[in-house]
Structure 1
Amino acid sequence: MSEPLGQGVQKWADLLSEKSNGNMKIEIFPDSQMGDKADIIDSMLIGENVCTLADGAFYADYGVNDFGIVFAPFLFDSWDDCWKLVDSDWYKEQCDKLEEKGLKIVSSNWVYGDRHTMTVNPVNNVDDLKGMKIRVPGNKIQSIGFDSLGATSVGMALGDVYQALQTKTIDGAENPISTLYGRKLHEVAKNLILDAHVKNFTTFVVSADWFKSLTEEQQQMLIDTANEAGLYNNEVQAKQEEEYLNKMKEEGVNVVVPDADVMKGFKEKAESFYTHSDEFGWSEGLYEKVKAAMGK
């Protein structure tokens, strides 16, 4: 709960309790106390009143294939691109499709963070990733995303990463700075390249059936307070990311800020990711549709 996202969730709980005069309440279970994401989503699908954060790559695994593109490497050039997409008709269509599968997104404006790469050995450009075993969450989009950069992706629970880095079972891991620091991964992997391969906005999702059981007023209150807490979360994320990065440097982490040429190399290497569109089950012309939805 000390990480920025945890503070944001607490803010959401406080706002909802206050604005509903105590008639609606969020009970928080941090650190996977209710099981992993798949367990919680399975509970939603039978109508239970649980909520979790999840991302497009996971929604792709639940049958809305096109949603997975939001986790494509280097899809977004800026956070403004993310919010333009979230506000687009294309995004609303994906949310509607997900709701037909039994899952209702109540908020999509939460910054989880730029996902960067932390490694045991230095990475100064994309070629240095070749052959490295990099931990990613266990979904196809992120696995192929890192494979396209020349690394070997390894799906693994986040709680197992510290020991795996310590024993050199893996060579690195990727996540936002707040998670990398919060999990103390910098103690066993002293190199960080700020590649921002994914701009990771996240969503909160509930059971569609449970959501429909609420009154319209309750539904709107849940959505409004979630979005207000999302803005609070984003402010905390920006402030604490800088603090965590400075702490990493103070604790001996070698931080690489890639220049334009290095980033060009990363983006060119990542282009092969999009050749897997059939494997992801994406609709025809999806990349072009998403770019158009962002005004590009």
Structure 2
Amino acid sequence: MGKKALSIILVALTLFLGSCSERSVAGNEKPHYEWKMTVTVGSGSTWYEAAKKFADDVEAETDGRITIAIFTNEQLSAGSPEAGVEQLMDGTKDFSYNSSIIYAGIDPRFGILSAPFLINSYEDAERMLNGESGALINAMLRERGVEPLGFAESGFRQVTNDTQPIKKPEDLKHLKIRVPSMGVFTTHFRNQEADPITMAFSEVYTALQQGTIDGQENPVDVTYSSGLSEVQGYMTMWNYVYDALILGMNKELYDSLDREDQQLISRLAEEANAYQIEIARNKEERQLEELKEKGMDIYYPTDEEIQQFRDAAQPVYEHFEDIWGKENMQTFLTEAAAQD
């Protein structure tokens, strides 16, 4: 083919592509998107149910213009939640449901949400996450490249063991307790003279069965769905850490959307979070009944006993004050002590 003929083809192609672009603009056609979202856990979780509702609602309300593919068990990050959050921050993926504990593994300032005995009821959690405390977390998320689309919940973390109910701090002495690999947890249990052990959760059942560890702490759903009642006789419902879920979107992507799409995404995310919270709380009530039927002793500490645990947790706050920020910590403490 001669150079002249090739030049004519290239010019024609350029004009054609240009005309296509102009027709899209002239027709006010909004852009189509195919987004990716991950959840840390599997398809049987309330996290997945809420993510699916969110994706289905977005697709329905945009007549298929926007679709969201959901990947369970952190498939996009080889099973690593921390790597998954980093992908969200750098835009490798678009959305995720992740525990605030995972964010704290990347930026320890988020650890303030896991301060022991800070949030003690669902009412506390709602007041704080919808108030100044939540606004501080949202600001930190935006600093890290994540647009916050609200909070859902994994629930309160409870402690289990196969020795006795945990009624006072002394009952934790010398117990080998598996905890997340995060300073707040290891510091807290060491202060109670327990022996905190960090390991992959996939290893916990076998470690409990073989006596390598004595206990673990997790929300009820995790204990139930993992069959830990088979190797743990006691659960203490002390609500010592509230496990918040963050529905996050890559901030650069969010900022690139027009106002109408931003409002749509924010509204449907809020609805998905409310749905997740509702089904998670209802599910926990049923799971606790089934755990009792399986022979697990479920102990609810008295107010006086909880106060002993709260008093014993104070060194954690002193230890992390500089990391969390004194003013931020005071905001959280003041709001936690407020009454509705």
Q: Which amino acid aligns with 2:89?
A: L
The answer to whether structure 1 residue 146 and structure 2 residue 189 are counterparts is yes
Is the Cα–Cα contact under 8 Å of residues 47 and 97 in structure 2 kept in the other structure?
no
Q: Match for residue 202 of structure 1? A: 245
Q: Which runs of 4+ in 1 moved over 6 A?
A: none
> Following the alignment from structure 1 to structure 2, what is the Cα–Cα distance between the partners of residues 139 and 53?
19
What is the number of equivalent residue pairs in this alignment? 293
Q: Deviations over 1:129-150 (max 9, x none)?
A: 1111211222222322333333
Q: Deviations over 1:211-239 (max 9, x none)?
A: 22333322222221121011111211121
Is the Cα–Cα contact under 8 Å of residues 229 and 296 in structure 2 kept in the other structure?
yes
Alignment of structure 1 residues 73-222 onto 2, 5 Å? 73-108=116-151, 110-125=152-167, 126-222=169-265
> Following the alignment from structure 2 to structure 1, what is the Cα–Cα distance between the partners of residues 116 and 337?
19
Secondary structure in 2 aligned to 1:13?
helix
Is the Cα–Cα contact under 8 Å of residues 54 and 269 in structure 2 kept in the other structure?
yes
The answer to whether structure 1 residue 51 and structure 2 residue 51 are counterparts is no
* Residues 155 and 20 of structure 1: CA distance in aligned 2, closer, same or farther (over 3 Å): farther
> Following the alignment from structure 1 to structure 2, what is the Cα–Cα distance between the partners of residues 141 and 89?
22
* Residues 150 and 15 of structure 1: CA distance in aligned 2, closer, same or farther (over 3 Å): farther
* Residues 49 and 210 of structure 1: CA distance in aligned 2, closer, same or farther (over 3 Å): farther
Larger RCO, structures 1/2 (Cα 8 Å, 6+ apart): 1
> Following the alignment from structure 2 to structure 1, what is the Cα–Cα distance between the partners of residues 273 and 325?
30
> Following the alignment from structure 1 to structure 2, what is the Cα–Cα distance between the partners of residues 174 and 272?
20
> Following the alignment from structure 2 to structure 1, what is the Cα–Cα distance between the partners of residues 238 and 65?
44
Q: Deviations over 1:29-70 (max 9, x none)?
A: 2223232111212222332233322344433443462x3211
> Following the alignment from structure 1 to structure 2, what is the Cα–Cα distance between the partners of residues 261 and 180?
26
The percent identity for this pair of structures is 26
The answer to whether structure 1 residue 39 and structure 2 residue 83 are counterparts is yes
> Following the alignment from structure 1 to structure 2, what is the Cα–Cα distance between the partners of residues 213 and 137?
36
Structure 1 window deviating more from structure 2 (172-181 vs 76-85): it is: 76-85
Is the Cα–Cα contact under 8 Å of residues 37 and 52 in structure 1 kept in the other structure?
no
* Residue 294 of structure 1, CA deviation: 4.6
Q: Gaps spanning 5+ residues in structure 2: where?
A: 1-42
TM-score (norm 1): 0.90
The answer to whether structure 1 residue 290 and structure 2 residue 290 are counterparts is no
Secondary structure in 1 aligned to 2:70?
coil
Q: Gaps spanning 5+ residues in structure 1: where?
A: none
Is the Cα–Cα contact under 8 Å of residues 74 and 84 in structure 2 kept in the other structure?
no
Is the Cα–Cα contact under 8 Å of residues 81 and 102 in structure 2 kept in the other structure?
no
Is the Cα–Cα contact under 8 Å of residues 88 and 96 in structure 2 kept in the other structure?
no
TM-score (norm 2): 0.79
* Residues 167 and 179 of structure 1: CA distance in aligned 2, closer, same or farther (over 3 Å): same
Is the Cα–Cα contact under 8 Å of residues 236 and 300 in structure 2 kept in the other structure?
yes
Is the Cα–Cα contact under 8 Å of residues 73 and 145 in structure 1 kept in the other structure?
yes
> Following the alignment from structure 1 to structure 2, what is the Cα–Cα distance between the partners of residues 176 and 244?
11
What is the CA RMSD across the aligned residues, in angstroms? 2.1
* Residue 192 of structure 1, CA deviation: 0.8
Structure 1 window deviating more from structure 2 (113-122 vs 9-18): it is: 9-18
> Following the alignment from structure 2 to structure 1, what is the Cα–Cα distance between the partners of residues 177 and 108?
26
* Residues 64 and 189 of structure 1: CA distance in aligned 2, closer, same or farther (over 3 Å): closer
> Following the alignment from structure 2 to structure 1, what is the Cα–Cα distance between the partners of residues 94 and 164?
41
